[in-house]
């Protein structure tokens, strides 16, 4: 009888030890649920996202102030504010297209100019300024900017002249390394130089601050 009771007790102790080991398996291979501490350690951190690339859908892009440094050009500042709850980064230059109305011209080999129809949505992809640039990290609600330098056009210029203007009504702004753009209302007349080698209208790099 005593031997049977000792064997039964040993069996129960061994089963209890095995059950405890299964519930405390740090790899979660047992049937027991992970402890709250383990679940907290495996949760992603909201602050560990500083390498996220800023995207058009997450930025509030606005036309800010401008200045006229002389020489006929105007410097227009465009602000980009991070609307996410986490930081994001931008490196380099945005893509900027001007969208506006312009008169089409047909220039013959002998130089004869024929005035065509007005294109209400002429699109001009701007060139980039030759300038140094780095990576800008935007905290939530922080703002960066870039400068759009443009050469004003003459709204009253002869439509057949090369001084004709592009009556801009919108900017299409694509953040660096993004494939989507934001459409921003902007009303100004710019000298249309979309076929020039060195146009007087171009885009600078992303810079920190407003």
| Tens-place pLDDT, residues 51-61 | 799 999 999 99
Q: How far apart are CA 75 and CA 203, in angstroms?
A: 10
The residue count of the chain comes to: 210
> What percentage of residues in the chain have a pLDDT greater than 70?
70
- Which distant-in-sequence residues (6+ apart) come within 8 Å of 35 by Cβ? none
Q: 123 exposed, middle or buried (CB, 10 Å; 0-12, 13-18, 19+)?
A: middle
Q: How far apart are CA 88 and CA 52, in angstroms?
A: 5
pLDDT at position 159, please? 58
pLDDT band, residue 172 (cuts 50/70/90): very high
Residue 74 has pLDDT above 60, yes or no: yes
Judge if pTM exceeds 0.85.
no
Burial code (b: 16+ CB inside 10 Å, e: under 16) for 81-111 equals bbebebbbbbeebbbbebbbebbeeeeeeee
User: 56-208: which CATH topology?
Assistant: Immunoglobulin-like (2.60.40)
Task: Quote the mean pLDDT of the chain.
Answer: 79
Q: β-strand 127-128 against 202-203: which pairing, if any? A: parallel
Higher pLDDT, 165 or 169: 169
Higher pLDDT, 155 or 20: 155
Rounded to an integer, the average pLDDT of 65-91 is 94
Rounded to an integer, the average pLDDT of 110-119 is 77
* Element spanning 4, H or E: helix 2-23
Q: What angle do CA 87, 92, 98 make, to 5 degrees?
A: 105
Over the stretch 125-156, which tens digit does the pLDDT of each residue have? Answer: 999 998 889 999 999 999 999 999 999 987 66
> Tokens standing for 58?
């997450």
Q: How far apart are CA 177 and CA 156, in angstroms?
A: 38
Where in the chain are the domains? 2-42, 56-208
> Tokens standing for 166?
């592009």
CB 99 within 8 A of CB 169: yes
Q: What are the E-state strand segments in 51-94? A: 59-70, 73-82, 88-91
pLDDT at position 156, please? 62
pLDDT at position 161, please? 58
Question: Read out DSSP for 28-39?
Answer: S-SSSPPPHHHH
Residue 182 has pLDDT above 80, yes or no: yes
């Amino acid at each position: 009888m005593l031997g049977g009771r000792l064997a039964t007790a040993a069996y129960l102790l061994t089963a209890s030890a095995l059950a405890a080991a299964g519930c405390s398996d740090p790899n979660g291979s047992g049937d027991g649920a992970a402890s709250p501490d383990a679940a907290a350690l495996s949760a992603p951190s909201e602050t560990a996202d500083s390498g996220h690339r800023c995207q058009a859908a997450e930025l509030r892009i606005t036309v800010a102030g401008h200045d006229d440094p002389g020489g006929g050009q105007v410097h227009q500042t465009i602000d980009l504010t991070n609307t996410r709850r986490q930081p994001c980064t931008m490196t380099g230059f945005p893509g900027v297209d001007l969208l506006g109305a312009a008169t089409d011209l047909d220039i013959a080999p002998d130089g004869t100019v024929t005035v065509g129809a007005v294109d209400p949505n002429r699109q001009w992809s701007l060139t980039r300024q030759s300038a140094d640039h780095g990576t800008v990290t935007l905290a939530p609600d922080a703002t960066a900017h870039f400068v759009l330098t443009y050469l004003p056009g003459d709204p009253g210029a002869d439509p057949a002249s090369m001084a004709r203007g592009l009556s801009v009504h919108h900017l299409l702004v694509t953040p660096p390394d993004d494939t989507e753009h934001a459409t921003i209302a902007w009303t100004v007349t710019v000298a249309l130089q979309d076929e020039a080698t060195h146009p007087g209208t171009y885009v600078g790099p992303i810079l920190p601050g407003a």
